[in-house]
Structure 1
Amino acid sequence: MSATTSSPFASVIEKHIPNLKTYEELYKHFHRNPEISTIEHDTSARIATELKTLNEKHGSPIEIKTNIGKTGLIGIHRNGPGPTILLRADIDGLPIQEKTGLDYASTKTQLDTHLDNVEKPTMHACGHDFHITCLLASIETLLGCTDSWSGTLIYLFQPAEERGCGARMMIDDGLYDLSRHGCPEPDLCLGQHVFPFRAGTVHTRAGSTMSAADSYRITIHGRGGHGSMPHYCVDPVVIASHVVVRLQTLVSREVPPDETAVVTVGSLKAGDTVNVIADVAILQVNIRSISQTWRRVLLDGLKRIVNAECEAGRSPKPAEFEKLNEFPLCYNDEEVTKKVQKTFDSHFGSEHMPDMKPVLGSEDFPLLGSSIGKPYMFWFWGGVDPEEWDRRVKEETLNELPVNHSPFFAPCINPTLRTGVEAMVVGALGFVQKDTN
């Protein structure tokens, strides 16, 4: 039990939280069977089955809507007058080969029919299997304590977070169109993410919490020819190399030292053999920022630098910019965050960390609120075994922990599962709990 004795939610959770042994097995099922973004058909079907089972146990209070944005689904739980709160979990895995050695490790491969029709190893390397399982267990807890709260809860299972398109796919498919899916607009949205922090802890922050991310594929044109005759050619590799180096000055010389930003050139490809100057060089660039002001500076600087280096290198035609994906800045609403932090303080006590630093990872979760002008709040909870965490603190080896997207990423099941369930339940009840005065 992670709650403090002063928590107004402790008795509700103790009475109604389900036997988590069942959910441990469900978690292992999802971990063994990850699916790549936009093609999470089996995952979505299993979630729908779990929701139907919960309905059978509790008299069918949840209205289930499937196939929203292809593989997204929601459960609408109306329980009297009050605010409408959306609780979100993402459901997709990653094209990574798992190397954890767990007895429930994924050995699955999947044909990525959405992207390139290539068979890929697949892994839940970002904890979305935990997100699914914790939300399902939270739903069962909330179903058991309906006399303690009043309002409407929307349980949303979102596809394709890893590619930054799942929230938009659901919204564009009429998520909030009552005539289409029957889903009311929420008053606010809540979400959470497991992270390489000490298990049992919950971490929050008001304001800028996760970075915006903008990714581009940039094609730089040259004039190819024999490696022995560079004076007859325009070498796009040289131009691209200058671009790579010059882009680093965006952070070091154009963004203030007390701001946070990252510019990464993830790949540079040109040519196929040693003695040929290529026609084109292709860069893939990722830019992360935690303010809209400096996001604009970085994006403007990207195009300025690429175009200037192409001109300096006598490129025969302008560079081409292809937007690969875009993640919004995650800016937690101040008032909503204060309320969540107050409830987390009362429930988790010293295990709640309300002053976490911004995370340079990115999420499309904010779109679920910002697209309709509603507030949202996103928090993190730990998944590193406490004994391992404490040992690494002493050894000063925390930087060697496997992190999200690592083939070795493996959050411990306990107490990670229970903490994730309690955080989601407490976060929701903080807005819909009945006044007991």
Structure 2
Amino acid sequence: MHAPRHRTLSPDKAAIFSKIDAMLPELEKIYLDLHRHPELSMQEVRTAGIAAAWMKQYGFEVHEKVGTTGVVAILKNGDGPVILLRADMDGLPVKEKTGLDYASTQTGVDRFGQAVSIMHACGHDFHVTWLMAVGRLLSEARDTWTGTVMAVFQPAEEIGAGARAMLADGMVKRFPKPTVSLGQHVIPLPAGRIGYKAGVAMSAADSWEVKLFGRGAHGSKPQNSIDPVVMAASTVMRLQTVVSREVAMADSAVVTVGTLQSGFNENVIPDEALLRLNIRTFKENVRSRVLASVKRIIDAEAQASGAPKPPEYSVISQFPLTINDEAATARTVEGMSAYFGPERVMTVEPASGSEDFGLFGTAWNVPSVFWVIGGSDPDLYAKAQTGDDPTILPVNHSPFYAPVLHPTLRTGVEAMLAAAYSWLD
């Protein structure tokens, strides 16, 4: 475990960080419990209840069911800045294959009505535990800061709906305007390290559901059909050319077809096919062009197949670019570097993953800062970087993804507390 650093902390603040050691056994129990009991997006009733009860215990004014299952906990401590600290709560429809003795065996029904296994495959169980811990520490150290702490436990980040739901439920009018919005996420970096990127930090993401229409027939009489399976397969293959032939080398984009569903029997040509696809970009002009190209190809393949009617489109989710304010990032990173030392706080490349965290800052027109916490075994991480097989390091959303418990648990608490103090000071 990395030794804490108190390079520029006053003695009273250093004493607060020293309390983390005694809290770790209790925090570990909370984390393991959350990991065993993940909940799908907009279904985080149990998780929200645990967070709300904890924050009430430590003197926060707690507002529940914000945006369905969200929790907003506020602690006022005199005049000063208002800092928003955010943690997302939802798990994923993934069957856990980590082999851990605390692995999830939960099941449920997802937003598409499908029976699924559920796993915390993205580390949101860490995020909730970290924020609960920081809430307690700041509550017990009210003589070391002034201002207001607003802890936001957000639902449905994985489907890009949670932040919008909370904002639609009146967050901007109901709660104090933050001075800054702060958030963090565990990723495959060496455990104990913190990564940040000023400016564009994470990609925008657009997810669509597309229904393709054909004409069904017996498998022995394809001449009587308009085969939506062939139409869908041709569409998927042609979509691979969007990035390779329509996006400049200096730019980047990802087009992924994650779902292709059609038919039930081997000798029946169905009359419909369903695609669900995800598009990720870092620039608005690239996003516009890629989305237009994707639609053009889907429409053209349907027309080329003689489809009886055009495809139907619906938006599943939409994530904005995550943009870290330059000045706010510098201030936050300075606070974390002062505690950890600069060797543990590093710049990272923009991530191709996406977040809805930035919507809070945009809604209030205040700066946002989002950083990442390493959760991977350092030796395994190094081997993945230098070896021939980078897949040996499980990543977020993998059924094998399991951040190491220590020092990840402590590092996330320390990082968020140091970031908070960099503004509450």
Please give the range of the TM-score, normalised by the shorter of the 2 chains.
over 0.9
Instruction: Flag as ranges the 4+ runs of structure 1 deviating above 6 A.
Output: none
TM-score computed with the length of structure 1 as normaliser: 0.90
Structure 2: gaps (5+ residues): none
Offset of residue 300 of structure 1: 1.0
Instruction: Assess if the C-alpha contact under 8 Å between 1:2 and 1:419 holds in 2.
Output: no
Instruction: Assess if the C-alpha contact under 8 Å between 2:172 and 2:363 holds in 1.
Output: no
Instruction: Assess if the C-alpha contact under 8 Å between 2:380 and 2:393 holds in 1.
Output: no
- How do residues 209-224 of structure 1 correspond to structure 2 at under 5 angstroms? 209-224=201-216
Paired residue type of 2:244: S
Name 2:302's counterpart in structure 1.
310
Residues 1:365 and 2:368 aligned together: no
Name 1:420's counterpart in structure 2.
412
Offset of residue 316 of structure 1: 1.8
Which whole-Å CA distance do the structure 1 matches of 2:422 and 2:176 have between them?
20
3-state SS of paired residue (2:50): helix
Paired residue type of 1:14: F
Residues 1:175 and 2:168 aligned together: no
- How do residues 3-402 of structure 1 correspond to structure 2 at under 5 angstroms? 3-4=4-5, 6-8=7-9, 11-17=14-20, 19-55=23-59, 62-112=60-110, 115-116=112-113, 118-178=114-174, 183-390=175-382, 392=384, 395=387, 397-402=389-394
Instruction: Assess if the C-alpha contact under 8 Å between 1:66 and 1:72 holds in 2.
Output: yes
Which whole-Å CA distance do the structure 2 matches of 1:133 and 1:34 have between them?
13
Sort the Cα spacing of 1:347 and 1:396 in 2 relative to 1 into closer, same or farther, 3 A: farther
Sort the Cα spacing of 1:33 and 1:365 in 2 relative to 1 into closer, same or farther, 3 A: same
Paired residue type of 1:160: A
Deviations 1:222-258 (A, max 9, x none): 2232444444432223332222122112111111112
Offset of residue 353 of structure 1: 4.2
Paired residue type of 2:123: G
Offset of residue 397 of structure 1: 4.6
Sort the Cα spacing of 1:106 and 1:281 in 2 relative to 1 into closer, same or farther, 3 A: closer
Instruction: Assess if the C-alpha contact under 8 Å between 1:198 and 1:385 holds in 2.
Output: yes
Structure 1: gaps (5+ residues): 56-61
**What is the alpha-carbon root mean square deviation over aligned residues?**
2.1
Deviations 1:128-176 (A, max 9, x none): 1110111111112212332222211100101111121111111111122
3-state SS of paired residue (1:28): helix
Sort the Cα spacing of 1:11 and 1:361 in 2 relative to 1 into closer, same or farther, 3 A: same
Which whole-Å CA distance do the structure 1 matches of 2:384 and 2:354 have between them?
26
Offset of residue 52 of structure 1: 2.3
The percent identity for this pair of structures is 45
3-state SS of paired residue (1:185): coil
Instruction: Assess if the C-alpha contact under 8 Å between 1:12 and 1:145 holds in 2.
Output: no
Instruction: Assess if the C-alpha contact under 8 Å between 2:234 and 2:301 holds in 1.
Output: yes
TM-score computed with the length of structure 2 as normaliser: 0.93
Instruction: Assess if the C-alpha contact under 8 Å between 1:127 and 1:194 holds in 2.
Output: yes
